[in-house]
Amino acid sequence: MTAETFKIAALAGDGIGPEVMREAVKVLRAAERKFGFALDLTEAPVGWAGIDAAGRALPDATLALCRASDAILFGSVGLPDRDPTIPKEERPERAALLRLRKEFGLFANLRPVLLWKELAHACPLAKERQGQGIDILVVRELTGGMYFGQPKRTEDLGHGQRRAIDTMVYTTAEIERIAHVAFRAAGKRAQSGGRPRGKVTSIDKANVLENGVLWREVVTRVGQQYPDVTLEHMFVDNAAMQLMLRPTQFDVLLCENLFGDILSDEAAALAGSLGLLPSASLGASAGGRTFGFYEPAGGTAPDIAGKNLANPIAQILSAALLLLYSCNRPDAHHAIVQAVGKAIAAGHRTGDIFAPNEPGVRRVGTREMGNAIASFV
């Protein structure tokens, strides 16, 4: 029997991108050997690396590769000090990142926040609030709501007065598709070694907003199709408070765009370092496969680039999410998350998660951390 093959575009980008991507590819190869699937992985330039190689932040050949792939594993792009004469629209953040997000219709953003017990000191919450560990997935709708609703304008009212208008709009179909992502993700998390039974906490402001009433109604209806997943509803203001008071109560948080933007950053702060946080942005599923764009939450970190200092865990966990969502391999995803946990338990610490007074730990570089994780897969 031939191995199942997944086609992956690996776009490392700028700054620490190539360093952390190297380690993620190493770990993917270890998973490939262990689990017997085949990764047809092709690297291509993007960002300033694209401008240097082909004159554009998103070269045509890179875009063509992405279109022919099942998923994109992305590093990060942008170097604030490079050539200020290049106009905004041609700079990597817009010309590459925003263009790719739009091109692939990525409507769902998934940000897992996992606090390993060994890194409890990096979490801003007191230890007693961390319970047995924080393990939350924020699912954020990415293409609707207040950021895109019409009308959207600023009007001159005369007498020095102006009025700004933003409009929150959601259709039933938009709520349904993001709700399905959240319920399926809760199921997959249970499958990939997480909770015995998934839970979705749907966030809204149904006591004030029409959007909230529709959101709650549609999510409740979709939830009936997932009897193995528990559904609860929570007002967004209470959710912001509960994340600080009792974050361990959450499994999957389902949010519309604006609430998700805010709550995902609040949740991210609980993990202790940007270098630990992966993300997935998903498009529509077709033929049993979901196209996805996977990237670390942080940027190119120019301050530490090229020095073997960056934490590769965010990129490695992004690769693990790729295996979970675009390749439907919860086994391989679970193995990589476990391997990261083992490297941390063995005392490996990159600078961002290193505490000098912590006993039994060793400061390591990007490469050493990647090697350790690959060896534990």
Nearer to ligand NAD, 257 or 311 (CB): 311
Residue type present at position 185: A
- Cα–Cα distances in Å, from 337 out to 66, 263, 309? 26, 23, 21
Contact indicator for 278, 56 with CB cutoff of 8 Å: no
The yes-or-no answer on residue 237 being catalytic is yes
- Cα 188 from Cα 142, distance rounded (Å): 21
Angle at 16 between CA 56 and CA 116, to 5 degrees: 135
Residue type present at position 292: G
Nearer to ligand NAD, 9 or 218 (CB): 9
Paired tokens of 337: 């998350």
Question: What's the closest the beta carbon of residue 221 comes to ligand NAD, in angstroms?
Answer: 34
Q: Which residue is nearest to ligand NAD (CB)?
A: 299
The yes-or-no answer on residue 156 being catalytic is no
The yes-or-no answer on residue 205 being catalytic is yes
Question: What's the closest the beta carbon of residue 364 comes to ligand NAD, in angstroms?
Answer: 12
Of the candidates 117, 147, 199, 342, the residue annotated as catalytic is: 147
Question: What's the closest the beta carbon of residue 361 comes to ligand NAD, in angstroms?
Answer: 16
Paired tokens of 268: 């991210």
The yes-or-no answer on residue 147 being catalytic is yes
The yes-or-no answer on residue 352 being catalytic is no
Nearer to ligand NAD, 77 or 332 (CB): 77
Nearer to ligand NAD, 316 or 335 (CB): 316
Close Cβ partners of 1 (under 8 Å, ≥ 6 residues apart): none
For residue 358, give the 3-state DSSP assignment. coil
- Cα 264 from Cα 162, distance rounded (Å): 32
Question: What's the closest the beta carbon of residue 348 comes to ligand NAD, in angstroms?
Answer: 14
Of the candidates 52, 83, 228, 265, the residue annotated as catalytic is: 265
Nearer to ligand NAD, 32 or 261 (CB): 261
Question: What's the closest the beta carbon of residue 78 comes to ligand NAD, in angstroms?
Answer: 3
Report strand pairing: 38-43 vs 153-158: unpaired
Beta-bridged to residue 73, according to DSSP, are: 10, 294
Nearer to ligand NAD, 76 or 211 (CB): 76
Question: What's the closest the beta carbon of residue 273 comes to ligand NAD, in angstroms?
Answer: 7
Nearer to ligand NAD, 91 or 216 (CB): 91
- Cα–Cα distances in Å, from 325 out to 2, 103, 109, 122, 201? 22, 19, 12, 29, 20
Of the candidates 40, 52, 228, 237, the residue annotated as catalytic is: 237
Of the candidates 135, 188, 204, 205, the residue annotated as catalytic is: 205
Q: How far apart are the first and last CA of the chain?
A: 24
For residue 298, give the 3-state DSSP assignment. coil
Of the candidates 14, 204, 261, 352, the residue annotated as catalytic is: 261
Q: Which of 316, 308, 318 is nearest to 368 (CA)?
A: 308
Interface with ligand NAD by CB under 6 A: which residues?
16, 20, 76-80, 93, 97, 274-275, 295, 298-304, 310-311, 314, 352
Question: What's the closest the beta carbon of residue 277 comes to ligand NAD, in angstroms?
Answer: 9
- Cα 198 from Cα 321, distance rounded (Å): 17
- Helices 313-325 and 330-345 cross at an angle (nearest 10°) of 160
The catalytic residues are 147, 205, 237, 261, 265
